[in-house]
Homo-oligomer: A and B are copies of this chain.
Amino acid sequence: MLLRSPALATDLYELTMAAAYFANHVTGNATFELFVRELPRNRNYLIAAGLEQALDYLHALRFSAEDIDYLKRHPVFRSVPAEFFDFLQDLRFTGEVWAIAEGTPVFQNEPLLRVTAPIIEAQIVETFLLATINFQTMIASKASRVVSAAAGRDVIEFGSRRAHGTEAAMYAARAAYVAGCAGTSNVEAGLRFAVPTSGTIAHSWVMSFDDELAAFRNYMQVFPYAATLLIDTYDTVAAARKIVATGLRPQAVRLDSGDLGELSRAVRQVLDEGGLQATRIFASGDLDEWRIAVLVAAGAPIDAFGVGTRLTTSFDEPVVGGVYKLVELESEHVARGKVKTSPGKATFPGRKQVWRRSGASGTYVADVIAAADEPVLTDSEPLLSCVMRGGTRVQPAPPLAEVRERCRVLVSKLPAALTKLEAGVAYPVHFSDRLKAEQQKLVGAKSDR
Contact = CB atoms under 8 A, between A and B. Distances in A.
Given A162-B134, A165-B168, A76 B340 contact: no
A12 B166 contact: no
A58 B13 CA distance: 35
Interface stretch (A103-111, A199-207, A433-441): A199-207
Interface stretch (A219-227, A273-281, A359-367, A381-389): A219-227
Interface in A291-337: 309, 313-315, 318-319, 321-322, 324-326, 329
A147 interface: no
Contact of A130 (B119, B162, B218): B162
Interface in A382-409: none
A137 to B, nearest CB: 12
Interface in A72-92: 74-76, 78-80
A244 interface: no
A163 B135 contact: yes
Contacts of A80: 222-223
A26 to B, nearest CB: 6
A257 interface: yes
A85 to B, nearest CB: 14
A91 to B, nearest CB: 15
Given A222-B80, A258-B343, A8 B191 contact: yes
A126 B66 CA distance: 33
Nearest to A226: B76
A123 B313 CA distance: 23
A134 B119 contact: no
A325 B202 CA distance: 10
A165 B342 contact: no
A164 B163 contact: yes
Contacts of A41: none
| Interface core residue of A13, A80, A224, A341 (most chain B CB under 10 Å) | A13
A188 interface: yes
A234 B204 CA distance: 59
A169 B315 CA distance: 18
A257 B343 contact: yes
A415 interface: no
Nearest to A186: B11
A199 B345 CA distance: 21
Interface stretch (A17-25, A94-102, A372-380, A421-429): A17-25
16 contacts: A3-B4, A10-B187, A11-B158, A12-B187, A12-B190, A16-B201, A17-B201, A74-B197, A79-B222, A119-B208, A127-B169, A130-B161, A132-B166, A163-B164, A164-B164, A207-B329
Given A13-B202, A207-B339, 18 more contacts: A3-B3, A9-B170, A11-B160, A12-B190, A13-B199, A16-B222, A16-B223, A26-B208, A32-B204, A76-B199, A76-B223, A80-B223, A132-B166, A204-B326, A207-B338, A256-B342, A257-B344, A309-B319
* Nearest 10 pairs of A and B residues by beta carbon: A13-B199, A167-B167, A12-B199, A164-B164, A130-B161, A318-B318, A204-B326, A164-B168, A9-B166, A11-B185
Interface of A: 3-4, 6, 8-17, 19-21, 23-24, 26, 30, 32, 66-67, 70-71, 74-76, 78-80, 119, 123, 126-128, 130-132, 134-136, 138, 158, 160-172, 185-188, 190-191, 197-205, 207-208, 211, 218-219, 221-226, 232-234, 256-258, 309, 313-315, 318-319, 321-322, 324-326, 329, 338-345, 446-447, 449
